[in-house]
Structure 1
Amino acid sequence: MSEQTHLTAVEVALLSILSNNQFHSGDKLAEHFDVSRAAISKWIKQLNEKQIAIHSVKGKGYQLAQYIQLIDEHKLKQQLCELLTVDYQVVSDSTNDTVKQYFKNNQSNILAITEQQLAGRGRRGRQWVSPFAQNLYFTLGLELDLPISELSGLSLAVGLSLTETLNRLAIPAKLKWPNDIYIEGKKVAGILVELDGAFDSPCRVIIGVGININMQVGQHTQAIDQDWTSLSIFSGKIWSRTQLAQQLSEPLYQDIELFTQHGLKNKVELWQSYDHFYRRPIRLIMPNNEIAGVGRGIDESGALLLETANGIERFIGGEISVRGMVGQEK
């Protein structure tokens, strides 16, 4: 995959005009920017080289691909103003890092969201593929009145909240312990929770979320080393990323508040109803060994329950895999 690069100010301005996904003539664009048609053509070519698909049709002009839709910054801020301060950037290195900057200024209740991450990362430092204006990349920066010892189930609570919302939207999302979301056995979302500062109460938490929304198969997806999907591929339609950002973040904020009061109590059965690997043979991969067994959900601390030859065992670390197991997908 080609290296992701920052957009220039001119490219951002051009994309903001094209963001209505209508055709715009080269003459009109040249007049707007007070440049030649050749300059517009050059800018369009540069954007295409950055894997931002812009169609050129003779007699009509230029049109941003329908699956590329910019977030309506004003609308999102208006929708969430009573809950969160929204930091919107066209391109950022990492929304988690953006939240860390707010924490340095003693600000919390932040939602950092971007059209593209240049250094997005998942669990264990893995790269998170972040094509421009196709998916959701956002981070919540919250100060929770909990000690670090009571945060072990937070990433599970986040995944459960997002999964419930997706199911309300008729997306049959499932959970993979501890922090992935699947659709029909393919990964559609990931969660990365980090802590900032002192580990005493209150704790500053950084909750990064990446969800594949309108991403299509292309050059940028060749770097993904596992089965994946997007809401668009599954449903066959293009989704409003602005609307989804609001629909996901509002209940997520509320569910995190409930987590600070009750933890995962009364959530174990709900988790199991969405657990993609519940009652299925799996392997738990850890740094020095692997353990085979049958998935039995989680306990109230968020630990994985695995039925092995020794009975029901609980684990707080590792990664679920079904590679090589009969009748299972990757």
Structure 2
Amino acid sequence: MNAAAIGLASGTQVAVEVVAETGSTNADLLARAPALAGPTLLIAEHQSAGRGRAGRSWLSAPGDSLTFSLAWKFDLPLQQLAGLPLAVGVALAEALAACGVQVQLKWPNDMLKDGSKLAGVLIETQAASGGGIWAIIGVGMNLRMPDDLEQRIGRSVAAAPWLAQMDRDALMAALLASLARTLAEFRQSRFRAFSARWNRLHAWQGRLVSILDNGAVLHEGTAAGVDDEGRLLLDCAEGRITVLAGDVSLRTREA
């Protein structure tokens, strides 16, 4: 992948870097955050120690996925970043739709294609010197899914062969442009600017679901979308409740 071509085609002022291999692009940018001069996109052709939410691993094969992280500084208190992973999901989904691939969103940080996971988002934060917060937005997206890798993952995983045929630089530029627009809008309006858009893409709207934490069922009910803070709305026997993002997994009750 060509960093200069991606930056130019995206039309953004984001510094773009490409490395052949690293352990984790998120870990790399977190370590470098104090010295970053501005928004920075780090793309790895291969990521050997990718991380997902709640300490899970993100497995990928060289050339068969996109793995990248975007460092973006917010002059906001940490609590006002609630909903950011969901806004990022909207940005990615809208960019893919423009490329001809329709996806849906699963609360709080997954993209689904044909009911299986296509991509995940991991956001980590670090206080910036002089004030503000660096958000390190990590994305792993499957393009092709070799059978042996799917066996290692241990569940059905989506792929997007159409995206795999696209020019990688053009695809990455489209994703970066959408992310930059989204993060600028989030800075101004927070998640309330995205809640309706997220709900239109909600994979499990109206479905019976269970909220799990470390395998224990916390709540069961009907998924009713998200509110303007990015909290999941769940219609339970006792009425509507809100569920905060965190180490909570959503599973269809049928599963």
Distance across 1 between alignment mates of 2:94 and 2:119: 13
After superposition, what is the alpha-carbon deviation per residue over 1:103-159, rounded to whole angstroms, capped at 9, x for unaligned? 132433000001000110111111111211221111000111111010111001000
Kindly indicate whether the alpha-carbon contact (under 8 Å) linking 2:205 and 2:224 is maintained by their aligned counterparts in 1.
yes
The corresponding residue for 1:247 is 174
Match among 43, 46, 62 for residue 132 of structure 1: 62
The corresponding residue for 2:158 is 229
User: Residue 236 of structure 2 aligns to which amino acid in structure 1?
Assistant: T
Name the SS of the counterpart of 1:271 in structure 2. Answer: helix
Distance across 1 between alignment mates of 2:150 and 2:110: 18
The corresponding residue for 2:27 is 97
Q: Percent identity?
A: 29
Kindly indicate whether the alpha-carbon contact (under 8 Å) linking 1:147 and 1:200 is maintained by their aligned counterparts in 2.
no
What are the ranges of 5 or more consecutive residues in structure 1 without an aligned counterpart? Answer: 1-70
Q: Calculate the TM-score normalised by the size of structure 1.
A: 0.72
Deviation at 1:160, TM superposition (A): 0.8
Match among 287, 291, 297 for residue 219 of structure 2: 291
Match among 137, 146, 151 for residue 217 of structure 1: 146
The corresponding residue for 2:229 is 301
Distance across 1 between alignment mates of 2:30 and 2:38: 10
State how 1:37-116 maps to structure 2 within 5 Å: 71-80=1-10, 82-116=12-46
**1:141 matches 2:71:** yes
Which one has more relative contact order, counting CA pairs under 8 Å at least 6 apart? 2
Kindly indicate whether the alpha-carbon contact (under 8 Å) linking 1:282 and 1:292 is maintained by their aligned counterparts in 2.
yes
Name the SS of the counterpart of 2:50 in structure 1. Answer: coil
Deviation at 1:264, TM superposition (A): 1.8
More strand per residue = 2
User: Residue 159 of structure 1 aligns to which amino acid in structure 2?
Assistant: G
Distance across 2 between alignment mates of 1:200 and 1:292: 44
Kindly indicate whether the alpha-carbon contact (under 8 Å) linking 2:34 and 2:128 is maintained by their aligned counterparts in 1.
no
Match among 235, 260, 263 for residue 187 of structure 2: 260
Kindly indicate whether the alpha-carbon contact (under 8 Å) linking 2:64 and 2:164 is maintained by their aligned counterparts in 1.
no
Distance across 2 between alignment mates of 1:284 and 1:172: 26
Kindly indicate whether the alpha-carbon contact (under 8 Å) linking 1:140 and 1:208 is maintained by their aligned counterparts in 2.
yes
Deviation at 1:83, TM superposition (A): 1.6
Name the SS of the counterpart of 2:165 in structure 1. Answer: coil
User: Residue 221 of structure 1 aligns to which amino acid in structure 2?
Assistant: E
Distance across 1 between alignment mates of 2:212 and 2:6: 40
Distance across 2 between alignment mates of 1:253 and 1:237: 23
1:222/1:199 Cα in 2 relative to 1: closer, same or farther (>3 Å)?
Answer: farther
After superposition, what is the alpha-carbon deviation per residue over 1:33-82, rounded to whole angstroms, capped at 9, x for unaligned? xxxxxxxxxxxxxxxxxxxxxxxxxxxxxxxxxxxxxx233422433474
What are the ranges of 5 or more consecutive residues in structure 2 without an aligned counterpart? Answer: none
1:260/1:172 Cα in 2 relative to 1: closer, same or farther (>3 Å)?
Answer: same
Deviation at 1:167, TM superposition (A): 1.6
1:289/1:217 Cα in 2 relative to 1: closer, same or farther (>3 Å)?
Answer: same
Deviation at 1:162, TM superposition (A): 0.6
Distance across 2 between alignment mates of 1:116 and 1:292: 39
Kindly indicate whether the alpha-carbon contact (under 8 Å) linking 1:148 and 1:199 is maintained by their aligned counterparts in 2.
no
Distance across 2 between alignment mates of 1:228 and 1:187: 5
User: Residue 226 of structure 2 aligns to which amino acid in structure 1?
Assistant: I
Kindly indicate whether the alpha-carbon contact (under 8 Å) linking 2:209 and 2:222 is maintained by their aligned counterparts in 1.
yes
Q: CA RMSD in A?
A: 2.0
Match among 266, 273, 291 for residue 200 of structure 2: 273
Distance across 2 between alignment mates of 1:75 and 1:269: 33
Deviation at 1:168, TM superposition (A): 2.0
Distance across 2 between alignment mates of 1:181 and 1:200: 35
Kindly indicate whether the alpha-carbon contact (under 8 Å) linking 2:223 and 2:234 is maintained by their aligned counterparts in 1.
yes
Distance across 1 between alignment mates of 2:27 and 2:49: 10
Name the SS of the counterpart of 1:278 in structure 2. Answer: coil
Kindly indicate whether the alpha-carbon contact (under 8 Å) linking 1:115 and 1:134 is maintained by their aligned counterparts in 2.
no
Deviation at 1:251, TM superposition (A): 1.3
